[in-house]
Structure 1
């Protein structure tokens, strides 16, 4: 009973915090899109900072809400990863809508951008052309959205592995759960 309430609490908190994180990431994407820099490297760094800050904020709020129950490492890791997953669903859906309906020419701009970056990195023109042909076959608004879900969840998991170390809090009474279950019987 207690474990089920904790799971529901982590799940609902992760959904709420993930909503805020997802909206912050979408806002960041919109700002860089409107400014004419949708593929900006600085935008990527800002997104990482938003993810890191959003997960840390969610862990902090959940830990403070938990009180005497504490927040073990595993719960903190699960919260952060779930939060990133829910945020990634929102952002992935936004990316799909952006590339499919709002600016269908953005995919072509993305390919041009990737081609320029590949040439600047020193790849031969033949390799760049082969890579771009491959990318054009397998990259669509749907795959961009789905890869956003996967990559953001993975990044959130990695950040959560680290952040959970700092936000974990052991329960004040580690045997309280066992005693409470025995008292109920």
Structure 2
């Protein structure tokens, strides 16, 4: 019963923290889109910084809320990964809506930006043409949205591996559950 309550608590906390994190990621993308820089490298750095900071903040709040129950490393890892998953679902859905309905020409701008980037890095025009033909098949709003879910969840897992080390806390009474069960008998 206790483990069931803790898993529900982790799941519900991850959903709510993920909601806030997802909204922050969307707000960042909207700001860069409105300012005319939707493909800015700075935007991607900010997204990863928000992901890292949001997971850390969620772990901190969860740990403080649970107090004496502590937060083992596995729970911290699960919380951070689930939080990034829920945030990435919101962000991926927003990316799909942005490219599919809000600005249908944005995907063409992305092709041009990607092509220019490859050329600036010294690739030949033939190589770039070959890459772009393959990329056009893969760069659809749906695939871009789904790839955001996978990418941000993977990075969230990696960040959670790191942050879990710093936010883990052992329970104050490690045998409290065993004593409670014996007292009930």
Identify the TM-score tier after normalising by the shorter chain. Answer: over 0.9
Q: What is aligned with 2:168?
A: 168
Q: What is aligned with 1:108?
A: 108
The 10-residue stretch of structure 1 (169-178 or 21-30) with the greater mean CA deviation from structure 2: 169-178
TM-score under structure 1 normalisation?
0.98
Q: What secondary structure is seen at the aligned counterpart in 2 of 1:38?
A: coil
Taking the aligned partners of 1:184 and 1:100, their CA distance within structure 2 comes to 59
Q: CA deviation at 1:8?
A: 0.1
Deviations 1:63-95 (A, max 9, x none): 000110000000000000000000000000000
Q: How does 1:44-63 map to 2 (within 5 A)?
A: 44-63=44-63
Q: Which runs of 5+ in 2 are unaligned?
A: none
Q: What is aligned with 1:78?
A: 78
Q: How does 1:10-159 map to 2 (within 5 A)?
A: 10-159=10-159
Q: Which runs of 5+ in 1 are unaligned?
A: none
Q: CA deviation at 1:184?
A: 3.8
The 10-residue stretch of structure 1 (113-122 or 140-149) with the greater mean CA deviation from structure 2: 113-122
Q: What secondary structure is seen at the aligned counterpart in 2 of 1:37?
A: coil
Paired positions, count: 185
Q: What secondary structure is seen at the aligned counterpart in 1 of 2:173?
A: coil
Q: What secondary structure is seen at the aligned counterpart in 1 of 2:123?
A: coil
Q: CA deviation at 1:180?
A: 2.2
Taking the aligned partners of 1:50 and 1:89, their CA distance within structure 2 comes to 15
Q: CA deviation at 1:179?
A: 2.2
TM-score under structure 2 normalisation?
0.98
Taking the aligned partners of 2:120 and 2:180, their CA distance within structure 1 comes to 64
